[in-house]
Amino acid sequence: MIILKATLFNFLRRPATRAFLYWVERVGLVGPPPLLSPSSAPDLRIVIGGRNREKGAAMVGQLGKNSEFTEVNIENVDSLAAALKDVDLVVHAAGPFQQAGKCTVLEAAIETKTAYVDVCDDTSYALRAKSFKDKALAANIPAITTGGIYPGVSNVMAAELVRAANTESKGKPERLRFYYYTAGSGGAGPTILATSFLLLGEEVVAFNKGEKIKLKPYSGMLNIDFGKGIGKRDVYLLNLPEVRSAHDVLGIPTVSARFGTAPFFWNWGMSAMTNLLSPEFLKDRTKVQQLVQLFDPLVRAVDGIAGERVSMRVDLECTDGRNTLGLFSHRKLSVSVGNATAAFALAVLEGSTQPGVWFPEEPEGIAIEARELLLNRATEGTINFIMNKPPWMVETDPKELGLGIFFFATIHLKGITIQDSGGGDYRFI
């Protein structure tokens, strides 16, 4: 866990007022966000906090001047409240969020009247954070939950696709699909490994024509084309919070989310774990941590070969046949997550978020007029970023019909039920 306390002079919420930022994170997941680095914001002062002085000192070495280390315990509200004194914004990036019983950082933020952003990727935690909406309103503080890359930037991409469709299409948005890919652990090591294992213990919640359905985790594989730099990858159903929030906030009847990794045998291993280990085992943070310690050396070795490329594709279908997508690809997950989270932090500091606790796609969370700037910041350094284009524009295997004419083959499975060899029914949603 690390905490960054920063003095920002370039991005101020109130004229002639210093804004202070605390960044709560586990070392090695996000890293120093380039958008908040001393080179990008020379007046930035960073204080790294946590219980591990050695790792904190290493981070200080990476950040250079205007940074230092201090201690804080995010499990202790009193410790957090003391750390957040006179702070304008706290960013909570200390995962995993799965099976976390309390929202201690958010509670401390409300107690100290500090604005808040988290990078939560767990449905239960996100809904628990949302339950603090009235308290945040009473404290007059803005708060965003699920404000990372996915969920986070992907939510904003979905909201913009829906907004464009409502303006340009004669039909209504009816089907929204989130597809994610990360090579290896994305360079994040134990934290993302623990998150992945814990998610395997959760039934997948999706929506099909307005009906809430539950599916087996890491099932329903699809081969999705992520375009240049990534190519076609297998992705599998996971229980992610943007499915629920997009259904409720954007009003889309059919919503699902899928994730895949590489090399291919990691996907096989994840699928096997759902069959070999009980949900109770996979929901136990202590037991999962033991698994993480067992697999971590192998994962790190493979990461050196697989790299840490990341891609997310958001597809929207309308009732009139209009199909559009948003695509985001980056060479390094660690850098892109930092950029995405910093973009949300800056948006809050600039006053783009209203008091309360919001999802990114809610206009009270990120104002509609602020979305373009947020996406510009979050997509810095991407190898591919496309918004509101037809699916054929990202296909990597076009078929030539002759005379220089190319046909981009796209197959859409809709409303189809198949049965696997294990006897389980999977609806492609």
pLDDT along the chain (429 residues), means of 10: 37 35 53 58 63 73 71 82 83 80 91 93 94 98 96 98 94 97 68 76 94 95 94 95 97 97 82 83 77 72 73 97 96 89 90 97 98 96 96 70 40 39 47
Cα 359 to Cα 99, 196, 250, 266, distances in angstroms: 20, 22, 11, 31
Clarify whether residues 67 and 194 are in a common domain. Answer: no
CB 278 within 8 A of CB 284: no
Clarify whether residues 107 and 214 are in a common domain. Answer: no
Closest CA to 317 of 272, 252, 373: 252
Clarify whether residues 322 and 353 are in a common domain. Answer: no
Clarify whether residues 374 and 389 are in a common domain. Answer: no
Clarify whether residues 79 and 184 are in a common domain. Answer: no
Clarify whether residues 163 and 308 are in a common domain. Answer: yes
Phi first, then psi: give them for residue 307, nearest 5 degrees.
80, -165
Element spanning 259, H or E = strand 254-262
Output the pLDDT for position 191.
66
Cα 408 to Cα 400: distance, rounded to the nearest angstrom: 9
Clarify whether residues 139 and 167 are in a common domain. Answer: no
Output the pLDDT for position 42.
61
Closest CA to 375 of 389, 363, 390, 387: 387
Give the domain range for residue 221: 153-333+381-400+407-427
Residue 259: which CATH number?
3.30.360.10
Clarify whether residues 219 and 256 are in a common domain. Answer: yes
Output the pLDDT for position 148.
93
Closest CA to 350 of 33, 15, 91: 15
Cα 335 to Cα 11, 69, 342, distances in angstroms: 20, 22, 11
Query: How many domains would you assign to the chain?
Result: 2
Output the pLDDT for position 25.
54
Clarify whether residues 123 and 211 are in a common domain. Answer: no
pTM for the predicted model, two decimal places: 0.85
Clarify whether residues 14 and 112 are in a common domain. Answer: yes
Q: Kindly give the residue spans of alpha helices, DSSP state H, lying in 169-284.
A: 190-199, 241-250, 264-276, 279-282
Clarify whether residues 364 and 391 are in a common domain. Answer: no
Residue 368: which CATH number?
3.40.50.720
Clarify whether residues 126 and 255 are in a common domain. Answer: no
Q: Kindly give the residue spans of alpha helices, DSSP state H, lying in 307-405.
A: 333-349, 371-378
